[in-house]
Amino acid sequence: MNPKIERFLREQKPETPCLVVDLSVVKKNYHKIRRELPLADVYYAVKANPAPDILKLLVGLGSYFDAASGGEIGQCLAAGAKADRISYGNVIKKERDIAEAFSHGVRLFAFDSEAELLKLAAAAPGSQVYCRILVPNQGADWPLSRKFGCDLEMARDLMIRARDLGLQAYGISFHVGSQQHDAHQWDVALARTAMVFTDLRNAGIELKMVNLGGGFPVQYRDAPGKAELPSFKAFAAAIMKGMTRHFGNDLPRMLIEPGRAIAAEAGVIETEVVLIARKSYDDPLRWVYLDVGMFGGLAETMNESIQYAFRTPADGRAESPVAIAGPTCDGVDILYEKAGYTLPVDLKIGDRVQVLRAGAYTTTYSSVGFNGFPPLKEHYI
């Protein structure tokens, strides 16, 4: 548990549920990524946590930004980011949003289809564009599926088309899936990326950039039988090995788009136990209902995909099996039923329980007021 957040919680007793973020951890994570992978420009994936305090801090540290919408671009600009440090990385954009980004000075755009490329040619003439390719998402706890990217043949054709439309055919991007455990997945994706580079060189187009996406994982729950994750350093080493293997000495510009790896570890959600109950007299399983759930910000517990670690005032004492659920009247508002969670037998109604490493993908996932529960409150310290 982060001592600065612990002190804040003890002294301020903020109303629950709330997220408390220690900005010094955001800074530490940014520096670690820069140190371990110095050749890559860091484009923070704004969707992980777009809080002004985080964006302003990252602007000050010299970060670039990966934005997905006019809203996120506006948040970056408001935090002081220069438009030439923003990539409009969503491959699904309205033409008027592209035009607005262009009018603010954004000149770097992603696409993965012909129709999107035509929008870019019309609304962002002359801009640098990069094509997102499909890559396997094996090994990711939060895969991004077939929704994004196109195959290699199409990517090659579209990049030629981009040049013919007067755009700058700039590079290739991929995303190996969020919370990716397997560093080898970057090598698989880089092999595919290099094939497109070669094909395009033969067509007279020299691509200049590889966008390696995000996906760098965070150690959430230490469950028995769950392997320790490799460090960021190990991912960085695997990436550099893949880069030299597939591109030789003449490396293109490298971009990475970490979201989770920058924001998650910096935040703790403070919650309160609302109810502890059993379903029958002889059922050993306790149901623990917290005042935060799937609709209060913990949407990544969907399918029990992201398994957060919890801290309680009774830690260290005997534990027994629990299901953990949120406070709303929706049946899907269950955090964990099958993932084998246990909590202390002494846990009581009214106890404050902390959800650790919850600084990414929580506040903006929180509903605006389902069942009358307000959105997750936030404190940046």
Q: Report the interface residues with ligand PLP, using CB under 6 A.
A: 45, 47-48, 66, 89, 175, 178, 213-216, 257-261
Provide the minimum distance between the beta carbon of 43 and ligand PLP in the complex, in angstroms, as a whole number. Answer: 8
Distance between CA atoms of residues 178 and 174, nearest Å: 12
**Shortest distance (Å) from residue 66 CB to ligand PLP:** 5
| Contact assessment for residue 5 and residue 381, using Cβ atoms and an 8 Å cutoff | yes
Supply the minimum distance, in Å, between the C-beta of residue 381 and ligand PLP: 22
Smallest distance from ligand PLP to CB 245, Å: 23
Cβ nearer to ligand PLP, comparing 179 with 354: 179
Of the pair 2, 137, the CB lying nearest ligand PLP is at 137
Q: Looking at beta carbons only, is 215 or 252 nearer to ligand PLP?
A: 215
CA distance to 23, 255, 326, 358, 359, per residue, from 363 (Å)? 15, 26, 15, 9, 8
Say whether the peptide bond before residue 17 is cis (omega within 30 degrees of 0): yes
Active site (annotated) includes residue 329 = yes
Distance CA 90, CA 66 (A): 9
Catalytic residue among 76, 131, 150, 329: 329
Interaxial angle between packed helices 152-164 and 114-123, expressed in degrees from 0 to 180 and rounded to the nearest 10: 20
Record the tokens describing residue 248, joined without a space.
């030789």
374 to 9, 44, 207: CA distances (angstroms)? 20, 28, 47
Task: Identify the CA nearest to 76 among candidates 100, 52, 92.
Answer: 52
Please, which residue, 50 or 214, has the CB nearer to ligand PLP?
214
Please say which residue, 24 or 145, places its beta carbon nearer to ligand PLP. 145
Percent helix / strand / coil, the chain, rounded to 5: 35, 25, 40
Q: How far is CA 357 from CA 219, 267, 361, in A?
A: 8, 5, 10
Element (H, E) at 236: helix 232-247
Q: Using alpha carbons, select from 233, 167, 237, 160 the residue that is nearest to residue 202.
A: 160
DSSP, collapsed to helix, strand or coil, labels residue 165 as coil
Q: Which is closer to ligand PLP, CB of 89 or CB of 293?
A: 89
Q: Which DSSP helix (H) or strand (E) runs through 243?
A: helix 232-247
d(CA 135, CA 190): 9
Residue found by looking up tokens 């006019």 in the block: 70
Q: How far is the CB of 144 from ligand PLP (least distance, A)?
A: 7
What tokens does 71 get?
Answer: 């809203």
Q: Which one, 301 or 328, has the nearer CB to ligand PLP?
A: 301
Question: Which residue in the shown chain puts its C-beta closest to ligand PLP?
Answer: 214
Q: How far is the CB of 118 from ligand PLP (least distance, A)?
A: 21
Question: Minimal distance in Å, beta carbon 306 to ligand PLP?
Answer: 11
Backbone angles phi, psi at 24, to 5 degrees: -65, -25
Give whichever of 305 and 371 is closer to ligand PLP, judged by the CB atom: 305
The alpha carbon of residue 306 and the mean position of all alpha carbons in its chain are separated, in whole angstroms, by 12
d(CA 5, CA 97): 38
Q: How far is the CB of 250 from ligand PLP (least distance, A)?
A: 25
The crossing angle, in degrees rounded to 10, of helices 95-104 and 70-78 is 20
Active site residues: 329
